[in-house]
């Protein structure tokens, strides 16, 4: 594993700086949007634009990598993302911001797909799990560090938008100068959504609901914090604790899911997450420290669910179907991610900030009920 990490240092460095940029941009846009006079609904739509772009990126990236190569695609989309990061500050218009957010999502999704396929194909079966886990840890660490950078400037000025662009640009350089060639790539054959659902209804259905929760966390978390009256520093800490919770809980949840019945672990995680969301809903926003701690707990549990969905899907597939199914599952997941910020921001507007966490509690309960319903149906089905 050490040899892979050493040879791929440029890729990891680029991923960390780009994740820092993404972690900074989301809360920055939410705070700046309200300063510009955008209402909660428009801000939610702007944040959802990222996931609409990510959906497009998931569809286009494999073809681009196959035709052009990893390094060129990485450089091209990172350059576009760097430019769009600056345009947010130049033209404060809701429709224009939505389009920029779509472009940003498309670029970032392509970047992550490039990175994941590069690492997958550079690793052997014996170390691939460790390498990908290291990649996920770096990604969430970068997101958390980026959120804290919101304190490095005034969201009403240009400095933070420039910093967002610079971080992306710095991430490109070592990859383009790396002496290690990118691996050969062949675009995987996709599995249709319907076919994947027939094969693995547990993971596919839960992934849609999981997307509703994660999209609302990443896309509307800063909207909640701003509407709750948090200062800029408190918004950044709130978002950073989401990433910290993911780092803490993702590994142990994965271990439990490998040792015990995966369906039961999914139910337990969803119900614990629902309880944490309910506690957040009834906790006064004046008590920021308890909110930080509980949001770390909730985000750690909720964000771990996608890994359980992916594992549940792969449990039902042949080895040669896994790559193509991963792309299809990403599309399904992004559909939920698109709706999450829109629905949750409307709830914040209609039912005050506390409604945001009642939304999260409801989604987690739906996940648990869905898994229970599938388990019940399986027990009732006759044995083959």
Averaged pLDDT for residues 26-40: 89
Averaged pLDDT for residues 15-20: 88
Average pLDDT over the chain reads 83
pLDDT digits (tens, 9 = 90+) for 119-161: 666 666 555 556 666 777 888 889 999 999 998 988 888 999 9
Which of 21-35, 51-65, 149-163, 290-304 shows the lowest mean pLDDT across its residues?
51-65
In the chain, where the domains are located: 1-179, 188-384
Averaged pLDDT for residues 9-32: 87
Q: Evaluate whether 106 touches 54 at the Cβ level (below 8 Å).
A: yes
Structure tokens at 302: 């909720």
Instruction: Please report the pLDDT score of residue 308 as a whole number.
Output: 83
Distance CA 196, CA 205 (A): 10
Averaged pLDDT for residues 63-68: 77
Range 1-179 has CATH code 1.10.10.10: no
Distance CA 284, CA 363 (A): 22
pLDDT digits (tens, 9 = 90+) for 289-335: 999 999 999 999 998 888 788 778 877 776 666 656 767 777 888 88
Instruction: Please report the pLDDT score of residue 178 as a whole number.
Output: 59
Dihedral of the alpha carbons of 212, 130, 107, 78, in degrees to the nearest 10: 150
Instruction: Please report the pLDDT score of residue 293 as a whole number.
Output: 94
pLDDT at 6 over 60: no
CATH of domain 188-384: 1.20.1250.20
Please tell me the pTM assigned to this model: 0.82
Which of 87-91, 177-181, 304-308 shows the lowest mean pLDDT across its residues?
177-181
Which of 8-12, 47-51, 150-154, 167-171 shows the lowest mean pLDDT across its residues?
8-12
Averaged pLDDT for residues 28-57: 90
Averaged pLDDT for residues 262-287: 91
- 62 vs 274: which has the higher pLDDT: 274
Q: Evaluate whether 353 touches 224 at the Cβ level (below 8 Å).
A: yes
pLDDT at 379 over 70: no
pLDDT at 180 over 60: no
Closest CA to 328 of 187, 185, 191: 191
Instruction: Using the structure block, give the residue that is written with the tokens 């705070």.
Output: 31
- 98 vs 35: which has the higher pLDDT: 98
- % of the chain at pLDDT higher than 70: 84
Closest CA to 49 of 65, 25, 72, 73: 25
Instruction: Please report the pLDDT score of residue 316 as a whole number.
Output: 76
Instruction: Please report the pLDDT score of residue 299 as a whole number.
Output: 92
pLDDT at 186 over 50: yes
- Ranges 44-48, 88-92, 224-228, 274-278, most confident: 274-278
Distance CA 294, CA 320 (A): 40
pLDDT at 380 over 70: no
HEC assignment per residue over the chain? CHHHHHHCHHHHHHHHHHHHHHHHHHHHHHHHHHHCCCCHHHHHHHHHHHHHHHHHHHHHHHHHHHHHCHHHHHHHHHHHHHHHHHHHHHCCCHHHHHHHHHHHHHHHHHHHHHHHHHHHHHCCCCCHHHHHHHHHHHHHHHHHHHHHHHHHCCCCCCHHHHHHHHHHHHHHHHHHHCCCCCCCCCCCCCCCHHHHHHHCHHHHHHHHHHHHHHHHHHHHHHHHHHHCCCCHHHHHHHHHHHHHHHHHHHHHHHHHHHHCCHHHHHHHHHHHHHHHHHHHHHCCCCCHHHHHHHHHHHHHHHHHHHHHHHHHHHCCCCHHHHHHHHHHHHHHHHHHHHHHHHHHHHHHHHHCCHHHHHHHHHHHHHHHHHHHHHHHHHHHCCCC
Query: How far, in Å, are 16, 166, 177, 184, 218 from residue 240 at the CA level?
Result: 15, 20, 31, 36, 11
Instruction: Please report the pLDDT score of residue 202 as a whole number.
Output: 87
Burial class (CB in 10 A: 0-12, 13-18, 19+), 303: buried
Averaged pLDDT for residues 207-232: 89
Which of 165-179, 253-267, 283-297, 331-345 shows the lowest mean pLDDT across its residues?
165-179
- Angle 114-120-123 (CA atoms, 0-180°, nearest 5)? 135
- 49 vs 252: which has the higher pLDDT: 49
Confidence of residue 179 (pLDDT cuts 50, 70, 90): very low
- 117 vs 47: which has the higher pLDDT: 47
């Amino acid at each position: 594993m050490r040899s892979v990490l050493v040879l791929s240092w440029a890729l990891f460095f680029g991923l960390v700086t780009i994740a820092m940029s993404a972690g900074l941009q989301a809360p920055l846009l939410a705070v700046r949007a309200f300063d510009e006079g955008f209402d909660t609904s428009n801000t939610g739509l702007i944040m959802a634009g990222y996931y609409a772009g990510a959906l497009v990126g998931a569809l286009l990236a494999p073809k681009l990598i196959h035709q052009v190569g990893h390094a060129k695609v990485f450089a091209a989309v990172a350059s576009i993302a760097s430019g769009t990061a600056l345009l947010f500050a130049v033209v404060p218009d809701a429709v224009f911001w939505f389009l920029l957010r779509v472009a940003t999502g498309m670029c970032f999704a392509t970047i992550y797909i490039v990175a994941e396929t590069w690492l997958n194909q550079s690793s052997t079966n014996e170390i691939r799990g460790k390498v990908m886990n290291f990649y996920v840890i770096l990604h969430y660490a970068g997101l958390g560090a980026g959120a804290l950078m919101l304190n490095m400037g005034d969201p009403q000025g240009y400095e933070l938008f420039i910093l967002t662009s610079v971080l992306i640009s710095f991430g490109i350089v070592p990859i383009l100068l790396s002496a290690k060639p990118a691996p050969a790539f062949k675009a995987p054959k996709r599995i249709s959504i319907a076919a994947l659902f027939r094969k693995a209804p547990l993971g596919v259905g839960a992934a849609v609901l999981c997307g509703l929760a994660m999209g609302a966390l990443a896309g509307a978390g800063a909207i909640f914090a701003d509407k709750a009256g948090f200062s800029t520093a408190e918004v950044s800490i709130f978002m950073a604790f989401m990433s910290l919770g993911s780092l803490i809980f993702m590994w142990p949840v994965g271990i439990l899911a490998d040792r015990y019945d995966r369906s039961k672990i999914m139910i337990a995680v969803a119900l614990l997450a629902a309880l944490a969301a309910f506690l957040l809903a009834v906790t006064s926003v004046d008590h920021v420290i308890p909110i930080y701690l509980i949001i770390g707990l909730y985000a750690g549990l909720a964000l771990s669910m996608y890994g359980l969905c992916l594992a549940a899907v792969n449990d039902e597939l042949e080895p040669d179907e896994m790559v193509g199914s991963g792309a299809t599952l990403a599309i399904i997941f992004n559909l939920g991610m698109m709706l999450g910020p829109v629905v949750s921001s409307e709830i914040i507007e209609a039912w005050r900030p506390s409604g945001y966490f009642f939304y999260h509690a409801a989604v987690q309960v739906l996940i648990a009920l869905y898994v229970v319903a599938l388990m019940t149906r399986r027990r009732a089905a006759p044995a083959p």
